[in-house]
Amino acid sequence: MSPDEKPVIAVDVGGTQLRAALYLDESLNPVKIARSNTRHPTETPLDRLISLIESIWPDDKTVTAIGVAAAGPLDPFEGIIFEAPNVPGWVDLPIKSKLEDCFHTTVALGNDANMAAIGEWRYGAGIGHHHVIYITVSTGIGGGIIVDDRLLLGVRGLAAEIGHITVLPDGPLCGCGHRGHLEALASGPAIARWVSQEISQGAHSILPGGETLSAKMIAEAARSGDELSIEAFDRAGTFLGRAVADFAHIFNPSIVIIGGGVSRAGPLLIEPMQAALRKYVISKHYAEELILTTAALGDEAGLVGAMALARSISQ
């Protein structure tokens, strides 16, 4: 091993898929990557994760750290997953100590949206910025906030739940059980639900309506000129842009990065966001040099962030 090589392993725990990657140096390209389904009829998700890490362990090298990105809520300081949505049996799981006992190397844990924020900040659209807000818009809405070159964690490590701010009191029910949260109005399923409701109430669209609609289908329809689909993105983008104006007032970032599957709609989402941001800031100084852009790393952001986390604790 050359002196500048610090092999680290990054892990991304998703509800459907586990991913583990071995990185050398500062390169973004893993030398080994492995995936497996989170659920299995006989093996537990933790056993599957351990086997996955073993499968990419380098034969002749020491791994200096392991970084784990997982859906929260979790405690990044103690490395405990309180409750993993979609991962059976992961309640109050001390994943850091379990993996440290197993692999005899330092392990750090982070919320997946926070890790994606770090990935985009260090290696993606946010390079060179010191005040960054990252928002992932997919089946849910999450994010991460970088203030003065540090990830904002909060006292229990639970900060930056960007999707669960109230933007429409008494609005639609959110996955968390409360009403009117940003996630309930601007996530992929929220966009699809709104279009489907409008169609069932007689609105005209080239889309069929019903339960099978997705934000991706709506984006395609919008691109071919479907007015209802354009309006759906306009509506979601306006809610998001208004939220970004609120964040700008509190954190005064230089860049806001939008990731997650719904961000692939590009200008359909970003343009109404930009318009709402400009409309709702209390002074033009908040918005005039604020960059609003889509993410650069795509689905790899969480894994890359876990790699950056592992690198930050590796010795």
Closest listed residue to residue 84, CA positions, set 13, 21, 20: 13
Nearer to Zn ion, 162 or 306 (CB): 162
Measured from the CB atom, the residue of 96 and 181 that comes closer to Zn ion is 181
Element (H, E) at 279: helix 267-280
For residue 178, the minimal CB distance to Zn ion (Å) is: 5
Q: Kindly tell me which of 164 and 278 has the beta carbon lying closer to Zn ion.
A: 164
**Distance between CA atoms of 312 and 66, rounded to whole angstroms?**
10
Least spacing, CB of residue 77 vs Zn ion, in Å: 24
CB of 74 to Zn ion, least distance (A): 17
Taking CB atoms, the residue at the shortest distance from Zn ion is 174
Nearer Cβ to Zn ion (167/268): 167
As a whole number of Å, the CA-based R_g of the chain is: 20
Q: Which stretches of the chain bind Zn ion, using CB under 5 A?
A: 164, 174, 176, 181
CA terminus-to-terminus distance, the chain: 14
Q: Strands (DSSP E) along the chain, which ranges?
A: 8-13, 17-23, 32-37, 65-70, 74-75, 80-83, 91-93, 106-111, 132-137, 141-147, 150-151, 255-259, 291-294
Alpha helices in 110-226 (DSSP H): 112-123, 182-186, 188-200, 215-223
- CB-nearer residue toward Zn ion: 181 or 311: 181
Q: Looking at beta carbons only, is 166 or 254 nearer to Zn ion?
A: 166
- The answer to whether the CB of 182 falls within 8 A of the CB of 165 is yes
- Between CA 173 and CA 181 the distance in angstroms is 8
- The number of beta carbons lying within 10 Å of the beta carbon of residue 50 is 17
Phi-psi region of 148 (alpha: psi -120 to 50; beta: other; left: phi over 0): left
Tokens 């739940």 correspond to what residue?
161
Token reading at 195: 């279009």
Task: Describe the crossing of helices 301-313 and 112-123 by its angle, rounded to 10 degrees.
Answer: 80
CA 73 – CA 159 distance, rounded (Å): 10
Q: Is 187 exposed, middle or buried (0-12, 13-18, 19+ CB in 10 A)?
A: buried
User: Given the complex with Zn ion, which of 175 and 298 has the nearer CB atom?
Assistant: 175
CB of 85 to Zn ion, least distance (A): 12
Write down the least CB distance from residue 174 to Zn ion, Å: 3
Q: Pick between residue 44 and residue 166 the one whose CB is nearest to Zn ion.
A: 166
Q: How far is the CB of 142 from Zn ion (least distance, A)?
A: 11
Residue placing its CB nearer to Zn ion in the complex, 240 or 304: 240
Nearest approach, Cβ of residue 180 and Zn ion (Å): 9
State in angstroms the smallest separation of the CB of 168 from Zn ion: 12
